[in-house]
Amino acid sequence: MTGTPLSRSEAKDLTRRRLIRAAFAILDEEGEAGLTTVKVARAAGIAQSSFYVHFKDRQDLLRALGDQAGERLRATMREARRRAHETPDDGERHRDTFRIPLEAIRRHPELFRIGLRARHDPSSPLQDFAVESSAAYRAHLAADLAAMGFPTGTERDRRRLEMIADGINALTNAMAVGHLEGRYPDLEEVVDVLVAFSKGYLWLLRPPRRPLSETE
Amino acid sequence: MTGTPLSRSEAKDLTRRRLIRAAFAILDEEGEAGLTTVKVARAAGIAQSSFYVHFKDRQDLLRALGDQAGERLRATMREARRRAHETPDDGERHRDTFRIPLEAIRRHPELFRIGLRARHDPSSPLQDFAVESSAAYRAHLAADLAAMGFPTGTERDRRRLEMIADGINALTNAMAVGHLEGRYPDLEEVVDVLVAFSKGYLWLLRPPRRPLSETE
DNA sequence: AATTTCACCGATAGTACTATCGGTGAAAAA
DNA sequence: TTTTTCACCGATAGTACTATCGGTGAAATT
């Protein structure tokens, strides 16, 4: 029943991980307002004052949460790139573009919800992290689109690309929220809709009607 | 310099409106966590204890804020319907579908930001209001799409319609955020992108290729 | 075996906020 | 004019949380 006897540092590390896990759960269920040292410590099974053995203060915990969330996010993006590279370049790869982020969100819904919330909350110490993450994701998508042949010559071109990337991100998030709330149970239906929307911006890619002969 | 001498009830009403205005500003700038009776009262120029002359408790203030936000939202939707009805049914009407909500958001950015934030915050007393509002808007868009000829026969058809409506809403919100953050200064460029995305789902509308002669 | 380290504990000082209470003066009612 | 009403005030009790402190025992070190 009782496992291996743990060394002191192992036990401390375990407690720290329990605290972080508890903090994520509370943040997800009750929001920023519910995240107190009292609740986190109790959920992790230690005294409130012992919280300070592991974190300098409340802010320090938030920083650790941001770090961990960032690490998972980066791992997810690496994984997505890897899988996209493996998929054959037919219709299925295009669907994968949407399916992979959705599956990543489903794997860590609490991280997704926390990020979504922090993104627009000026009182959240995680806001900077969320804003940077979404900007990074936007840039990542915009680069992919540029690689597909979207024009990036003018400032206006680049802005439009960023808007499209922003839109794809927003669409994906909205569908993910609907899926997590149970409104869209079937992920393949979700991917169908995202593919439908994508036909719109892909239309911008089609060969220019004017073969660059006019004066301007 | 000093205006008309106010009657007692007029003065009280003015103070109440000052409190609500201050509450919206604080909510927008500092988030839910910053909204305390101390700050609201000070911003409105009265003593903290006098807050309770106007509101039963903190919760009561939030309720009042939700009521007022709901009223403005409904007014905006009525206005949008009216204007859409007036616009000639050419390409411009289609652009108006996107332009009108964007302009409404620009008119009350603080309400928009507060709603966006509350939508995913379980600790926010405004969450219910935000969730209901977005569901109402989704239904409103879905009805418009059905009127345009999208199929609604099967459960799956209706779910797809809701997903598209959800997507349009998410796109509009994301573009509005970018505009308010200064990334997309030109609203016409924003409308261009929304129109591009819309070509995608409108493609689903096109006449069925099979004229219903086959066995199935 | 003797000593040191340290993760955890209970107690508590300090801080910020909510909500109530009795008092006050000017507006409103009599 | 006299009386009543009430929006606002300062003071304060009560609550919830943050962060610190000295103490304890078992693990780790010597």
pLDDT of residue A137: 87
For residue B166, the chain A residue with the least C-alpha distance is A174
Is the pLDDT confidence value at A167 over 70? yes
Q: Given this model, what pLDDT does residue B3 score?
A: 52
Cβ–Cβ gap B124/A183 under 8 Å: no
Write down the pLDDT at residue A203: 85
Q: Is residue B212 part of a domain?
A: no
Q: What is the dihedral of CA A39, A42, A46, A52, to 10 degrees?
A: 0
Q: What is the pLDDT of residue B203?
A: 86
Cα A128 to its chain centre, rounded Å, is 14
Is residue B42 domain-resident? yes
Any idea what the CATH number is for the domain that residue A15 is in? 1.10.10
Co-location of B46 and B24 in the same domain = yes
Judge if A51 and A70 occupy the same domain. no
pLDDT, chain B, mean: 90
Q: Indicate whether B87 belongs to any domain.
A: yes
Distance CA A203, CA B138 (A): 26
Could you tell me if A46 lies within 8 Å of chain B, comparing CB atoms? no
Q: Which of B197, B200, B206 is nearest to B98 (CA)?
A: B197
Query: Is B62 inside any structural domain?
Result: no
pLDDT of residue A4: 57
Q: Binning pLDDT at 50, 70 and 90, where does residue A213 land? A: very low
At A214 the pLDDT is 46
Please tell me the least confidently modeled range out of A28-37, B34-43, B85-94.
Answer: B85-94
> Are A35 and A116 members of one domain?
no
pLDDT tens readout for residues B95-151: 998 999 999 999 999 999 999 999 998 888 888 889 999 999 899 889 988 988 899
* pLDDT digits 0-9 by tens, A65-84: 999 998 988 888 888 888 88
What type of residue is A29?
E
For residue A5, pLDDT beyond 80: no
**Chain B residue whose CA is closest to A32:** B123
In this prediction, residue B22 carries a pLDDT of 98
Is the Cβ–Cβ distance between A190 and B163 less than 8 Å? yes
Across A120-155, b (16+ Cβ under 10 Å) vs e yields bbbbbbbbebbeebbeebbeebbebbeeeebeeeee
Partners of residue B169 in chain A, C-beta under 8 Å: 174
- Taking the Cβ of residue B199 and every Cβ of chain A, the question of whether any pair is shorter than 8 Å is answered with yes
Measured distance CA(A130)–CA(B199) in Å, rounded: 31
Top residue of A36, A62, A112, A121 to mutate, by most chain B CBs within 10 Å, is A121
Helical pair A58-86 and A8-30, crossing angle rounded to 10 deg: 80
Nearest CA distance, A214 vs chain B (angstrom): 24
Contact B32 A166 (CB under 8 A): no
Interface test with B, best of A191, A193, A198, A206 (most B CBs within 10 A): A193
Measuring from the CA of residue A48 to each C1' atom, give the nucleotide at the shortest distance: C9
Q: Is the same domain home to A70 and A50?
A: no
Range of the domain at B38: 7-55
- A211 falls within a domain: no
Q: Is the pLDDT of residue A92 over 50?
A: yes
- Average pLDDT (A182-206) is 93
Higher per-residue pLDDT: A3 or A151: A151
Selection from A129, A121, A134 nearest residue A33 by Cα: A121
Give me the number of domains chain A comprises. Answer: 2
Question: How sure is the predictor about B185, in pLDDT bands with cuts at 50, 70 and 90?
Answer: very high
Please name the residue that has the structure tokens 């990542």. A140
Residue % of chain B over a pLDDT of 70: 93
Residues B17, B101 within the same domain: no
pLDDT at position A58 is 96
pLDDT band, very low/low/confident/very high, at A50 (cuts 50, 70, 90): very high
Are A197 and B160 spatial neighbours (Cβ–Cβ below 8 Å)? no
Nearest nt to the CA of A15 via C1' is: C7
pLDDT for res B213: 47
| B198 & B129 share domain | yes
Residue B167's pLDDT is what?
A: 97
Give DSSP secondary structure letters for A154-212. Answer: SHHHHHHHHHHHHHHHHHHHHHHHHHHTTS---HHHHHHHHHHHHHHHHGGGSPPSS-S
- Give, as ranges, the nucleotides of chain C with any atom within 7 Å of a protein CB: 6-12, 16-22, 27-28
CB contact under 8 A, A203 and B199: yes
A214 against B206, higher pLDDT: B206
As a whole number, the mean pLDDT across chain A is: 90
Whichever domain contains A160, its CATH number is 1.10.357.10
Amino acid, res. A89? D
**For B68-81, what is each residue's pLDDT tens digit?**
998 988 888 888 88
The CA distance from B28 to A150, in Å, is: 37
Shared-domain flag, residues B90 and B153: yes
Contacts of A166 in chain B (CB under 8 A): 174-175, 178
What pLDDT does residue B209 have? 57
In this structure, how many other beta carbons lie within 10 angstroms of the beta carbon of residue B214?
6
Structure tokens belonging to residue B121: 């915050």
The answer as to whether B1 is a domain residue is no
In a domain, B61, yes or no: no
Torsion of CA A153, A154, A159, A164, to 10 degrees: -40
Question: Are the C-beta atoms of B98 and B191 separated by less than 8 Å?
Answer: yes
Query: Given pLDDT bands bounded at 50, 70 and 90, which one contains residue A3?
Result: low
Give the mean pLDDT of A44-52. 98
